[in-house]
Amino acid sequence: MPLRKKKVITMLKNRLIACLVIKNGIVVQSIGFSRYLPVGKPEIAIEFLNSWGIDEIIVVDIDASKEGRTISRDNVRSIAKKCFVPLTVGGGFNSVEEVRQAIRSGADKVSINAAAIRRPELITEIAAVLGAQSVIVSMDVKVNQQGKYEVFISNGKEETGLDPVSWAKKVEELGAGEILLNSIDRDGTKQGYDLELIKKVSAAVNIPVIALGGACHPDHFCAGIEKGKAAAVAAANYFHFTEHSVITTKAAMKKQKSIHLRLDTYAHYLHLEHQETDGRIRKPSDDYLEEIRFEFHPKEEI
Amino acid sequence: MKYCTRCVYPENHPLNITFDEQGVCSGCRVHEEKDSLDWKKREEELKTILEEYKSKSKGHYDCIIPVSGAKDSYFIVHLIKNIYGMKPLLVSYNKHYNTEIGIRNLAYLRTIFDCDILTQTIDPKTVKKITRATLRDMGSIYWHCLAGQTVFPVQIAVRLKIPLIIWGAHQGIDQVGMFSHLDNVEMTRKYRKEHDLMGWEAEDLVSEAMYLSEKDLQAFAYPHDKEIEKVGVRGIYLNNYIRWDSKKQHEDMIQLYGYESFPQQRTFDTYNDVDCHYYSDLHDHIKFLKYGYGKVTDHVCREIRLKRMTREEGIDLIKKYSNIPPKNIHLFLDWLGITEDGLQYFIDQYRNKDIWKKNDQGVWELRDNILHHQHDPHVDEVRLEKKEECHFQITPLKKNPSPHTRQILIGRGFVDRE
């Protein structure tokens, strides 16, 4: 029998990313870029997302740009202290110096949005100094009145006339490391990603595209990867709703053969099934509960 | 200080709060869902969940219901057991600050509904040690109650392998609109740590200076993630599925089961907190000293949103109750063995400086209060129309109160009517 050539897997794992939207110093839920519900302190959100095995965290201060400042260094420092996964911060960055300070305060990457549109060279400047891997260009996309996708800035209020696909190609050319693609129309809707948009942008560039906006079910994340061809899938509000949300979501996604994820938390939820309707865990079988009723579980030793 | 133009919540609400362009708070906006959602459909969703969790093993419990001698306990048990036919295990953390009525309400609760109950009573010496520490570390006399109430049900769930815990209202939703009802938010250790425990989990209190060891705090420690996962424990909140109206629910329970109500020192709500000597008393006074507003503000906001009170009537009530001194302060000081000055010293460390300032004479005064915000812009345009009057009943007592106010650690409770 001929030796079969061993298949070399070059593909990176898909990442599940939590996005924390900060307003007035607290994490909020964002709905349609217009309603904001107060969730709590960024430090505590970061602490739990870490223990739930999130792959990356993106923290965006949505007031910063509007108030003509950047996300504060103290804030970056205090959240970075609790964060053991790659941390991206965003909000108001206009210069390489500001970005450098954020990185010094503990961030691994920065996300820039309006500033990149106003002065596209900024992308190249940051990439030249800190490396392409540290620049995420974030774009907020909405279907405009002509029924076409368009990039918006200023929390979705200001149009730019840019088409997301050509803008994505441009930022790749300028040296961006990744693209965070957010759908304003889907923000907080729980209806899943705008797959058509994600597919269009992902197909147009070679750098990783992170999908954001509307995910509220493990199937949505899977679709973002499988149908949208996103390299990473992100959500903001969703992770605040349930216990161990990151782990239960990853466990559900793992059941899809084509999804490759890191799931290495001690609690893994692989023994449980998920509801079709909302993707939440199902009750374990009564036989199983009967069986474990008298079992002893020691704590993990690290 | 910004105050909501519809209810009366201030922007320094400890659970955090946001305001929209009209100055209406996130709590009021989420509350609007109570009139816009299809609650029949929501209830069907609840029934689906409950149906799944009904145990097929003979005689085992279907779910856990945390209860106390007050605060919607009757309603929750009534709904889950008598209406939906579940077999719940009741669990109760003994908060040590019990009133006679609280003990009695709890005794009747377990007898009327024929339910099994597990009660956790931590030894008083440890509770006092912990309370001294929490007074020092966060200016709270209530940490152990909140920690115990929120962890004991979870410990029992993992120990007895009962995967569903049923809670009443989610405070974050009901007060500040932290979540939409449609988020179907569930119990998390994160919420407990941040909002119930003010950022302090049991482990964080271990301190040599306070003679507190891990052993002392073991009863308040959250089960390990793995234990929760193994059993698949979930905690759901009924106010996501039932249009929550605490006043109406209590009135139904008074009528159906003879729930006892009682006048409260610092608020007009005579239903919710009758089981504790301090909740609407010293604990609430402390809340006022920290944040510049008290429980009466919470109750006013709730009644304004439920269209039983105008903003102006609410502000009058806040004026009436906010400065009433706690009457059980000495009961507490004697119990804990500290002086009034000592207590005051600790509380002063935790005054919220956004609302309190020390004047030239070294006296704390409020920077602002709701009375200065009666005619803020938008108040009239966002006003809800009042639909009914707000009257809280005082029920006849099943037993004459004993002449001395005292904390009851364990009591018989059930009495033949006199």
> How confident is the model over A5-37, as pLDDT tens digits?
554 445 789 999 999 999 999 999 999 888 999
Domains identified in chain A, total number: 1
Whether A232 contacts A208, CB under 8 Å? yes
Please compute the mean of the pLDDT values over residues B106-116 and round it to a whole number: 94
Report if residue A279 sits inside a domain: no
- Residue B411 pLDDT exceeds 90: no
| Alpha-carbon gap, residue A11 to B309, rounded angstroms | 62
The predicted structure's pLDDT at residue A293: 85
3-state class of B239 per DSSP?
A: helix
The predicted structure's pLDDT at residue B187: 98
The predicted structure's pLDDT at residue A32: 87
> How confident is the model over B260-312, as pLDDT tens digits?
999 999 999 999 999 999 999 999 999 999 999 999 999 999 999 999 999 99
How high does pLDDT run on average in chain B? 95
Lowest-pLDDT range of B51-60, B182-191, B351-360: B51-60
The predicted structure's pLDDT at residue B176: 97
Name the band, by pLDDT with cuts 50, 70 and 90, for residue B5: very high
Angle between helices B282-291 and B295-305 (to 10 degrees): 80
- Residue A208 maps to which CATH number? 3.20.20.70
Name the band, by pLDDT with cuts 50, 70 and 90, for residue B69: confident
Report if residue A270 sits inside a domain: no
Report if residue A85 sits inside a domain: yes
| Alpha-carbon gap, residue A300 to B224, rounded angstroms | 9
| Alpha-carbon gap, residue A179 to B80, rounded angstroms | 48
The predicted structure's pLDDT at residue A10: 53
Domain boundaries, chain B: 39-240
The predicted structure's pLDDT at residue A4: 53
Q: Give the type of residue at A188.
A: G
Name the band, by pLDDT with cuts 50, 70 and 90, for residue B367: very high
| Assigned superfamily of B39-240 | HUPs (3.40.50.620)
Report if residue A293 sits inside a domain: no
The predicted structure's pLDDT at residue B417: 59
Give, rounded to a whole angstrom, the gap between the first and last alpha carbons of chain B: 51
Report if residue A8 sits inside a domain: no
The parts of chain A modelled with pLDDT lower than 50 are 1, 7-9
Q: Do B57 and A297 touch (CB under 8 A)?
A: no
3-state class of B379 per DSSP?
A: coil
Nearest Cα neighbor of B333 from B368, B282, B398 is B282
Q: Give the type of residue at B106.
A: L
| Alpha-carbon gap, residue A193 to A199, rounded angstroms | 10
A-contacting residues in B 202-231 (Cβ below 8 Å):
224-231
Report if residue A3 sits inside a domain: no
Please compute the mean of the pLDDT values over residues B353-364 and round it to a whole number: 95
Whether A76 contacts A105, CB under 8 Å? yes
The predicted structure's pLDDT at residue B138: 95
Pick among B9, B17, B225 to test the A interface (most A CBs inside 10 A): B225
Provide the residue range defining the domain that includes A215.
15-254
- SS3 assignment for B217-233: HHHHCCCCHHHHHHHCC
- Residue B412 pLDDT exceeds 80: yes
Q: Do B193 and A44 touch (CB under 8 A)?
A: yes
| Alpha-carbon gap, residue B322 to B311, rounded angstroms | 16
Tell me what ipTM this predicted complex has: 0.94
The predicted structure's pLDDT at residue B401: 86
Report if residue A261 sits inside a domain: no
Burial class (CB in 10 A: 0-12, 13-18, 19+), B226: middle
3-state class of A16 per DSSP?
A: strand
Q: Do A242 and B30 touch (CB under 8 A)?
A: no
Question: Residue B86: what are its φ and ψ, rounded to 5°?
Answer: -90, 160
B387 shares contact with chain A (CB less than 8 Å): no
Please compute the mean of the pLDDT values over residues B154-173 and round it to a whole number: 97
Q: Is A278 a catalytic residue?
A: no
